[in-house]
Structure 1
Amino acid sequence: MANKEQKFLEALDKKLWTAANKLLPSLDASVYKHVVLGLLFVKYVSDSFDNRCQELKDQFNNPEHDYFLNPEDYDSDEEYQAEIVDELEIRDYYTEKNVFWVPQLARWQILRDNATLTPGTEIEIKNGKTHTYTFRSVGRLIDDALDAIEKDNPKLKGILNKQYARLQIDQAKLIELINLLSEIPFSHDTLQSKDILGHVYEYFLGQFALAEGKKGGQFYTPKSIVSLIVEMLQPFQGRVYDPAMGSGGFFVQSEQFVKKHGGRIGNVSIYGQEYNYTTWQLAAMNMVIRGLDFNFGKEPANTFTNDQHPDLRADFIMANPPFNMKEWDTGVSDDDPRWQYGRPPTGNANFAWLQHMLYHLAPNGSMGLLLANGSMSSNTKNEGAIRKALVENDLVECMVALPGQLFTNTQIPACIWFLTRNKKERNGFRDRSGEVLFIDARNLGYMKDRVLRDFKREDIEKISGTFHAWQTGEGYEDEAGFCMSATLEKISKHDFVLTPGRYVGAAEEEDDGEPFGEKMARLTTQLSEQFGANAQLEKQIKQNLAGLGYEC
């Protein structure tokens, strides 16, 4: 991204968080994220509508355009201008460009201009025909605006969070928030409005995850990790599924990946599931604003007890399910067909998520999921047996160990499992049967602040490039300390532990020309001298303290 664009987005971040903090004293983080993001949605669709409106005005006045309205065809300028106003209210002009049709009540200018009215004041609204709207409160005005958008856009039915009137929010704070959001531009010389909104959502979700603590980690995955998994799986075409989708980050990155490589996003079908109702709504909004078709099931639901896509066999599955989830199996049968490789323990859902995804994987499908590091080595209550069965059935394709401090709200070290049902030669891939690639990426990345680590673009390219070179057999070589291709026989000798560090070894150090025996003698002497200097220093400190009257 260009420096100018980066500065624009950074300035936007600061303004956004200032806006969000206006509600902090009165609302819990898990609530106010939906207050802010709901208003941002209205602002975005209104801005997109206004941009299309201006584009249409220019076309109506352009003699060379098909939409040109000739002033000479009207008896007066007033009649001509009235015709333009009527034409601007024709829905088809907007939907043909995949722009949301926004009814007048829901347009941002109506919210901004009428938020401070006295309850009982009547507003004249044109929505197909002119009628009177009675203002009761700014919260109710927002709810009615969202309801109007939902009625005019069937894809949004049941998605928008219409609860502003019920929340105990200081009306003055809500008005101040509207005024602050009014200053946020969803337009830029080189950035698309959808990309700006995507950045806004990503930034907010990260900040809200920090504010919420562990709960936030159930839906927020750092963009760099999402990008890494998408780059490795390359979901160009087919069915993409996330059984723990959160706000839909994997789908957004899949869209960007396909477009980046010249593909058509229409070639990808999106399926997801989410248990939390408000997060399910957020994910759906995330898809709708991008014009993406999706199937998130009939309702938010528990993936284990109420599978919304029982017959789905996906070509690509990507997920970041909750780590080490306990008591996940209430209402789940011990002989559930998903547990083909072993019954996961009640105290940890890691292998339940993994097997659920495998169950939904197509015969030539591939999947990647984030799990806690314990999944690579634990033998607790059948986990070792399940891992062994996965390896022996040649389902594991690649294991990636990640550096620490990547996640906003947990210090649990994590890894990425990549599995596939078919390692045979196909689609440019060589036959990888009986092999597993191990990548140790713990030394990659950089500290972007005092707490969080992140991957650079070149880190993502190094990991994904190594994986693809190994898959194709073009240019891959084992690299000590980073990557190694191991046989199933070798893995069995390690008791089916899949920790990359066991296989890649340590990076080779540069030979400085000093023989090992001489170096060892020199360093031992140096260490002895330092111990002696330390003892002398300790003795001197004690003498000084004694001189001051202190006993040691």
Structure 2
Amino acid sequence: MDCWGAWRMDGSSFADIEKLEADLWSAADNLRANSKLTSSDYFMPVLGIIFLRHAENRFDVATRQIEEDKAAGRMPKRKVIDQDYVRRRALPLPDEARFDWIMQMATSGDKPLPALVTDAMRAIEEKFDPLKGVLPKDYGIFEPQVLEDLMRLFNSEQIRQATGDVFGRIYEYFLARFSIQKAHDNGEFFTPSSLVQMLVNVIEPDHGKVFDPACGSGGMFVQSSHFIEHEGGDTAKRAVFYGQEKNPDTIRIAKMNLAVHGLTGEIGEAITYYEDQHNLVGGADFVMANPPFNVDLVDAERIKTDTDRLPFGLPGVNKQKKVANGNYLWISYFWSYLNEKGRAGFVMSSQASSAGHGEKDVRERIVRTGDVDVMMSIRSNFFYTRSVPCELWFFDRGKPKAQRDHVLMVDARSVYRKVNRTINDFAPEQMANLSSIVWLYRGQKKRFVALVQRYLHSINIETQGCEPPLQELESTLDSVNDKTSAFVKELQRCKLVADAEKEPILAAVTELQEADTAYRKDRQSLWKDLVAYRKGKNEKPPATTKPQRSALAAFTPLAERIRGLIKQIDLLCKLAGRISPLVASLLSDASDEVKEALPFDRRVVGRELKQLDEVRKSAIEQLRRGIYFHRQASWLLERFPDGKLVDVAGLVKLVSLAEIEAADWSLTPGRYVGVAPAEVDENFDFDQTMHDIHVELAGLNAEAVELAAKIQANYEEMVV
């Protein structure tokens, strides 16, 4: 199976979604600011509005499918029943729960909007038993106009046409943002999606019972469903989700999260240390979790006889008869829930992999089972409310005999993408690259080769896609140059302006023209060679490693020339932008006679320069995408040139149990993989580095503004 498609290679297709998410959050947050509500007041109602809009979208899609199935004879022409919608993963919505109906009724004034929305939530709960008592109903806290603005925000045409994946992303985005604001239990209900996806990539939960004993908002189940459906399966037929969570409000969020994705699951309210609601010991096909780290208040007396779930014993008890650290309770639970072929993937504190004393004893017993499969170190700042690093642990009770005396150690701390100053994540390609290491470990070379092949195919697609934005760039640049040239002709003829005053403008124009000529020549030559590259032996990307390396080598000089073209484009636009201020400076103190002789509409030129900057960004972004996928393919083939797992210093090492025993049973990857040798990185990502610096600076500036506002407010209070 290939998890790659679940994370979408075509990252540009999500660019608009990311902007939409940010715009929605900003608008919703502004509404909250105007309503005098705190985050803890309004986050559940906002999630409820997202849920309501998505429920209608799914209902409308299911209605069309039912009509099409009737017309095609795939279902009898009878009265539609609720189950027809449930089978199509849609809620059977009564009229009073339809988003459009609510908005229409609100205009009549017969009933206030908060009451209409509350009634809608009750109607859905009556129709759909798993949501009983789950949906928010406290819409009376909103002023009617504020609530109406919020609902209109989620009723745009773009939102009305959004698919399930898009709505799922929006829902998860809002969960993440609420986590950042610590709107609920310090954000612990939400595990960053890139970590969840990494867990899914490795354990591949495609069937059976999937259990999360610390399920939070249910993200593990949602990503498991994405994986199943990408593989062509029907989640409802392939998997059953079980969850356990101690916080009732978080359970509500989880059930809403499942419903907004068209899923259901059995989620019980329980403290997992003391309760096992689903009786799944030895019965789960997959276990996934992000448990609380380093809990030290677990009552040892209450759990000491739970040998079914703690087969390796307690990790250590203090004088107060409390477990000194709960990490190894969770680790033992995860192992015990698996059936004889089950897999587990979970997030754990980085302290746990080398902890001593009683924890080390438990770890030794677990390692000796041979079921520890993969260990992966993750750098800090992947969590929204915690800056600590972590590790991903993976068990495989059905691990092949030949691998049972080894553990794959992956140190992924140098692999990350900076989201903002305080948050990192994995780019989709980074996740795929790390996953491919596990594929090689499992002898799945074909998947590795197929991933490289897709990167090579993307190079062709993305470079071919550069033509339209470059043509638009050149057209806009020509328009700016035409106006500049017309002015320069008049300037050269004008006797009212001294040659010394003309010189800066004429020199700038000459420099622009020379840069433009050089760019056009290099662009034409590069395009000719790119076309030849795509139409030659690389037209169909090779499916074995040796010709793949040749294809990458052939593109490397073209990648350098693309980088050069990007610099030329930046220079061109910079030079084009220099002329207008010089002209304005010349004319600012000029006589009316000179101004009449040298007409120059700076506003028109300014608009075109603004447009030029926009198309410059678009063209450069597209050019960089071809280089980007070349870099991803190079990252893989430079480390694993033959498509076989090898030790890579600073990244990966296959470690024997004997080596682990010699290292005092440590499971910390960095202890084994070593440090990558210092070398000149020919594929150094300058653009990404500059982006990271820009993100860091933007974050610092935002914090500075916020602090300045607080200082000013405090000062004003003191003065008063």
TM-score (norm 1): 0.77
Helix, strand or coil at the partner of 1:371: strand
Match of 2:164 among 194, 198, 218: 194
- Counterpart in the other structure of 1:415: 391
Residues in 2 aligned to 1:330 and 1:27: alpha-carbon distance in whole angstroms: 42
SS of corresponding position for 2:420: coil
Aligned runs of 1:313-352 on 2, under 5 Å?
Answer: 313-329=283-299, 332-337=302-307, 338-345=309-316, 346-352=323-329
**Residue 438 (str. 1) matches residue 409 (str. 2):** yes
- Alignment pair present for 1:140 and 2:115: yes
1:371-416 CA-partner distances (Å, limit 9, x unpaired)? 1110011225x22221222223333222111122211111111001
- Computed over aligned residues only, the root mean square deviation of the Cα atoms, in angstroms, reads 3.0
In structure 1, stretches of 5+ residues that fail to align are: 70-86, 122-134, 426-430, 513-552
- Residues 162 and 473 from structure 1, CA distance in 2 versus in 1: closer, same or farther, beyond 3 angstroms? closer
Bigger mean CA offset, 359-368 vs 454-463: 454-463
Equivalent position SS for 2:351: helix
Gap change, CA 1:492 and 1:196, over 3 Å in 2? same
One-letter identity of the residue aligned with 1:14: A
**Closer/same/farther in 2, CA of residues 6 and 333 from structure 1, 3 Å limit:** closer
2:335 corresponds in structure 1 to 358
Equivalent AA in structure 1 for residue 94 of structure 2: P
Partner of 1:387: 363
Residue aligning to 2:256: 285
Instruction: Note if 1:39 corresponds to 2:49.
Output: yes
**CA offset at residue 216 of structure 1?**
4.2
Partners of 2:188 and 2:129 in 1: how far apart?
Answer: 29
1:473 Cα offset (Å): 8.0
Q: For residues 403 and 214 of structure 1, do their structure 2 counterparts lie closer, same or farther at Cα, with a shift above 3 Å needed?
A: farther
Q: Mean Cα displacement is larger for which, 168-177 or 226-235? A: 168-177
Match of residue 275, structure 2, among 299, 306, 318: 306
SS at match of 2:339: strand
CA contact (8 A) 1:210 1:409 kept: yes
Where structure 2 has 5 or more consecutive residues not aligned to the other structure, the ranges are 1-7, 317-322, 446-643, 682-720
More helix by share: 2
CA drift at 1:476: 1.5
* Displacement after TM superposition at 1:457 (Å): 2.4
Q: Deviation at 1:181?
A: 2.0
Q: In the alignment, what sits opposite 2:92? A: 101
Distance of 1:504 and 1:463 partners within structure 2:
15
Q: Give yes or no for the alignment of 1:160 onto 2:156.
A: no
Secondary structure of the residue aligned to 1:212 is coil
Q: Note the C-alpha offset of 1:66.
A: 8.4
Report 1:475-494 matches (<5 A). 475-494=644-663
Which is worse superposed, 444-453 or 321-330? 321-330
Aligned in 2, Cα 1:7/1:92: closer, same or farther, shift over 3 Å?
same
In structure 2, the CA distance between the partners of 1:289 and 1:402, relative to structure 1 (3 Å rule), is same
* Matching residue of 1:376: 353
Instruction: Give the CA deviation at 1:511.
Output: 9.9
Residue number in structure 2 paired with 1:27:
37
Partner of 2:101: 110
Supply the distance in 1 between the matched residues of 2:198 and 2:421 (Cα, whole angstroms). 23
Query: Could you report, residue by residue, the CA deviation over 1:71-130 in whole angstroms, capped at 9, with x for unpaired residues?
Result: xxxxxxxxxxxxxxxx99865664554432111111112322334666xx4xxxxxxxxx
Shift of 1:471: 2.8
Q: Distance in 1 between matches of 2:384 and 2:256?
A: 23
CA distance in 1, matches of 2:164, 2:293: 31
1:31-67 deviation line (CA, Å, top 9, x unaligned) = 422110111111111233344556778899x8x8789
Amino acid at match of 1:152: K
Distance in 1 of aligned mates of 2:365 and 2:55: 50
Which residue of the partner structure matches residue 238 of structure 1?
A: 208
C-alpha separation between the residues in 1 aligned to 2:119 and 2:362?
52
**Shift of residue 363, structure 1, vs aligned partner:** 1.3
Q: CA deviation at 1:315?
A: 1.1
- Contact 1:194 1:290 (C-alpha < 8 Å) held by counterparts: yes
Q: Distance in 2 between matches of 1:330 and 1:148?
A: 45
Q: Which residue of 1 aligns with 2:19?
A: 11
Residue type of the alignment partner of 1:108: F
1:438 touches 1:486 (CA, 8 Å); kept in 2?
Answer: yes
Query: CA-to-partner distance for each residue in 1:247-284, whole Å, 9 max, x for gaps?
Result: 11111111111222233422122111122212212222
1:252 lines up with 2:225 in the alignment: no
- 2:374 maps to a residue whose letter is C
Q: Specify the SS of the correspondent of 2:296.
A: coil
Distance 2:148 2:213 in 1: 38
Q: 1:406 aligns with which of 375, 382, 386?
A: 382
Q: Which amino acid aligns with 2:18?
A: E
Return the letter of the residue paired with 2:181.
A
Please name the residue that 1:180 is paired with: 153
Paired amino acid for 1:412: V
Give the length in aligned residue pairs: 464
The verdict on how the C-alpha distance between 1:438 and 1:68 changes in structure 2, with shifts beyond 3 A counting, is closer
Q: Distance in 1 between matches of 2:88 and 2:260?
A: 13
Equivalent AA in structure 2 for residue 483 of structure 1: V
Give 1:531's aligned residue. none
TM-score (norm 2): 0.60
Q: Is the 8 A contact 1:320 1:370 kept in 2?
A: yes
* Residue 153 (structure 1) shift: 2.1
Structure 1: how far apart are the matches of 2:223 and 2:87? 25
Offset of residue 199 of structure 1: 0.7
Which amino acid is 2:277 matched to? Answer: Q
Q: CA deviation at 1:203?
A: 0.7
Cα 1:89–1:235 shift into 2, 3 Å: closer
Counterpart of 1:107, as a letter, is R
For residue 448 of structure 1, the aligned residue among 419, 423, 436 is 419
Instruction: Tell me whether 361-370 or 212-221 shows the greater mean CA deviation.
Output: 212-221
Q: Kindly indicate whether structure 1 or structure 2 has the higher relative contact order, using CA contacts under 8 Å at least 6 residues apart.
A: 2
Task: Indicate how the Cα distance of structure 1 residues 388 and 405 shifts in structure 2: closer, same or farther if over 3 A, else same.
Answer: same
Larger CA deviation: 92-101 vs 484-493: 92-101
CA distance in structure 2 between the partners assigned to 1:353 and 1:153 by the alignment: 33
CA distance in 2, matches of 1:403, 1:294: 32
Change (3 A) 1:116 1:322: farther
Per the TM alignment, residue 241 of structure 1 is displaced from its structure 2 partner at its CA by: 1.0
Q: Partners in 2 of 1:347 and 1:30 — Cα distance?
A: 32
> Is the 2:343–2:394 contact (alpha carbons within 8 Å) kept by the matching residues of 1?
yes
Instruction: Call closer, same or farther: CA 1:327–1:68 in 2, change over 3 Å.
Output: closer
Contact conserved, 2:50 with 2:171, CA < 8 A, in 1?
A: no
Give the secondary structure class of the aligned counterpart of 2:302: coil
Match of 2:704 in 1: none
State the distance in 2 between where 1:230 and 1:68 align.
39
What is the letter of the counterpart of residue 496 of structure 1? W
Residues 98 and 254 from structure 1, CA distance in 2 versus in 1: closer, same or farther, beyond 3 angstroms? closer
Cα distance in 2 for partners of 1:227, 1:209 equals: 18
1:127-165 Cα offsets, whole Å, 9 max, x none, are xxxxxxxx3x43332221111111122232233233334
Identity %: 31
